[in-house]
Amino acid sequence: MNPVPRIAATNLTVTFDEIDRLRGVTLQAHGGQLIGLIGPNGAGKTTLLKTLAGLISPCKGAVAIDGQTLEVWRRDLLAQKLGYLSQTRTVHWPVTVERLVSLGRLPHRGPWDGLSDQDRAAISDALKATDTDGLQDRSVTTLSGGELARVLLARVLAGTPEIILADEPVSGLDPGHRIQVVQRFQALARDGRLVIIVLHDLTLASRYCDRLVLLNDGAVVADGSPEDVLTPERVRNIYDVETRVISDGGQTAVVPWDHV
């Protein structure tokens, strides 16, 4: 394993509107992992993801990408390395799907360059990977919620980032596409990338993630393999739900069963 972590966050504290959103979060992550960021509503998952992406400056602590703190990174170089998928799925102008996805190539292109063959290949791969290649000439206004979610993910993948930070990438998707998208993230991680996704679906999280980081009230409560993190007692304490565990062929998944 690479001795320098892809992402190293140390003692992150983020406060806004006089509320502590993150309280001393420390996290290290290496390439080749699919990490699920889980926790109840308001736990600080989005704030942590934005802080890791450099979109929020922490009040205390620091984030280093490949051993270099975010303040030192040149914006354009960081944008080539790190892709961020926002939770909000607003597209402000009715551009076509292909053009929206091609925005992901902006960090790789000079100001006056057209799309290179490499750009086109990356866009086409991203459309295929998200099962949106049939939609490329459609206006984004005409897409269903699930289609739009996958197109926005294709935009991130088109940038071929080594680090992917995705905020609730599967919310609003049907079960087939949820699994397809998470499997896609898993494959990207197998490829050596670091993928961190915010998830609410504990079943998907336990089944597909290599590692889970459980946040509650702005602090890391547990960090480790899904079996270690999602113990019945812990899930009961944090989410107020009872769980069942499904095992099949040596794989297990945690299913929320009942409200306590």
Partner 1 sequence: MTAKAPALPSREVSYGVLLVGLTCLVAVLFIASLFTGRLGIGGLADLLAVRTTDPETFWLLLTEVRLPRTVLALTVGATLGLSGAVLQGILRNPLAEPFILGASSSAALGAVVVFYFGIAGGSALATPFGGVAGTMAATAILIALGGRAQDPLTLILAGVAINALAAALTSLALNLAPSPYAALEIIFWILGSFADRSLDHLVFAVPLMLIGWGLLFSTWRSLDALTLGEDAAASLGFNLAAVKIRAILGCAFAVGAAVATTGVISFVGLVVPHILRPFVGYRPSRLLVASALGGAALMLAADIGVRLIDTQLELKIGVLTAIIGAPFFFHLLLVLRRSGQ
Specify the residue, 106 or 241, whose C-beta has the smaller distance to partner 1.
106
User: Residues 257, 244: contact at Cβ < 8 Å?
Assistant: yes
- HSE-CB of 147 using CA atoms within 13 angstroms: 16
What span, in angstroms and rounded, lies between the C-alpha atoms of 159 and 107?
Answer: 8
Which residue of 3, 41, 72, 90 would you call a contact of partner 1, by CB under 8 A?
Answer: 90
Of residues 9-68, those binding partner 1 (CB under 8 A): 50, 53-55
Specify the residue, 82 or 129, whose C-beta has the smaller distance to partner 1.
82
Classify strands 82-85 and 7-16 as parallel, antiparallel or unpaired.
unpaired
Q: Does 175 bind partner 1 (CB under 8 A)?
A: no
What span, in angstroms and rounded, lies between the C-alpha atoms of 145 and 174?
Answer: 10
Specify the residue, 194 or 229, whose C-beta has the smaller distance to partner 1.
194
Which residue of 99, 120, 200, 211 would you call a contact of partner 1, by CB under 8 A?
Answer: 99
Q: Does 70 bind partner 1 (CB under 8 A)?
A: no
Specify the residue, 29 or 149, whose C-beta has the smaller distance to partner 1.
149
Q: Does 92 bind partner 1 (CB under 8 A)?
A: yes
State in angstroms the smallest separation of the CB of 92 from partner 1.
Answer: 4
Give 139's DSSP letter: B
Q: Does 171 bind partner 1 (CB under 8 A)?
A: no
State in angstroms the smallest separation of the CB of 160 from partner 1.
Answer: 13
SS3 222: strand
Which residue of 13, 15, 96, 186 would you call a contact of partner 1, by CB under 8 A?
Answer: 96
Q: Does 186 bind partner 1 (CB under 8 A)?
A: no
Using CA atoms, how far residue 31 sits from 81, 152, 168, in Å, is 12, 23, 20
Of residues 132-151, those binding partner 1 (CB under 8 A): 139-141, 143, 145, 148
* Structure-token pair, residue 101: 């996805």
Which residue of 1, 93, 114, 250 would you call a contact of partner 1, by CB under 8 A?
Answer: 93
Which residue of 13, 20, 40, 95 would you call a contact of partner 1, by CB under 8 A?
Answer: 95
Q: Virtual CA dihedral for 153, 159, 162, 166, nearest 10 degrees?
A: -20
**Strand stretches in 19-139, DSSP E:** 19-29, 33-38, 60-65, 68-69, 82-85
State in angstroms the smallest separation of the CB of 22 from partner 1.
Answer: 17
User: Residues 81, 162: contact at Cβ < 8 Å?
Assistant: yes
What span, in angstroms and rounded, lies between the C-alpha atoms of 244 and 155?
Answer: 36
User: Residues 182, 202: contact at Cβ < 8 Å?
Assistant: no
Segment (H or E) for 113: none
State in angstroms the smallest separation of the CB of 143 from partner 1.
Answer: 7
Binding site for partner 1 (CB under 8 A): 50, 53-55, 75-80, 82-86, 88-96, 99-100, 103-104, 106-107, 111, 139-141, 143, 145, 148, 152, 155, 159
